[in-house]
Amino acid sequence: MYIIAGLGNPGPKYADTRHNAGFAAIDCLSEMYLIPVRERKFRGLVGQGFIGQEKVLLLKPLTYMNLSGESIRAAMEYYDVPEERLIVLCDDINLDLGVLRIRKSGSAGGHNGLKNIIFQLATQDFKRIRIGVGKQPEEMDRISYVLSHFDSEEKARLLDAGKRAAEAAAMILGEGLEAAMNRYNGKGSE
């Protein structure tokens, strides 16, 4: 089994904010592969199904961003899933809106959700797909920016990025990480 976890904050107040790009990507996967993500388990919303031949658990932690690792660790322990079968989808303010960056491992890069996952799992060795939400304006602090809402044009570009992030996750399962990196890294909307 693979666990594909999208990071975000629960509740209507945070819907459609930059920090919820990971949730948006999980929603795309859910729709594309007909895997409803509605069951409450592991302090999150989950759905089980198949992407190609691979059994997957889609997970949206409801612990708020800074404690995402608690939900992910609980699911990994329950299903005895090793870190090499974890894929995390999250926002990245260092990438232009809609650009994807896929990595095999790495630091948190200032992202509190990734920081907590690394802390909870005691490793940086898990795959992640970062979704560019645009660079933070100088006049705005980081927290205000990641919790800000997209305008209608940005929202359309995020939806496209969420779909491509979902396709990239599926490609990792079917063709491997290198293939997904070659196809999707550094690319935005065509």
Catalytic residue among 19, 85, 101, 111: 19
What is the per-residue pLDDT for 154?
A: 86
What is the per-residue pLDDT for 139?
A: 86
Percent of the chain whose predicted confidence (pLDDT) is above 70: 98
| Distance of alpha carbon 85 from alpha carbon 78, whole angstroms | 14
**pLDDT, tens digit, 9 for 90 and up, residues 49-107:** 999 999 999 999 999 999 999 999 999 999 999 999 999 999 999 999 999 999 999 99
Domain boundaries, the chain: 2-184
Q: Which fold has domain 2-184?
A: Rossmann fold (3.40.50)
Q: Is 19 a catalytic residue?
A: yes
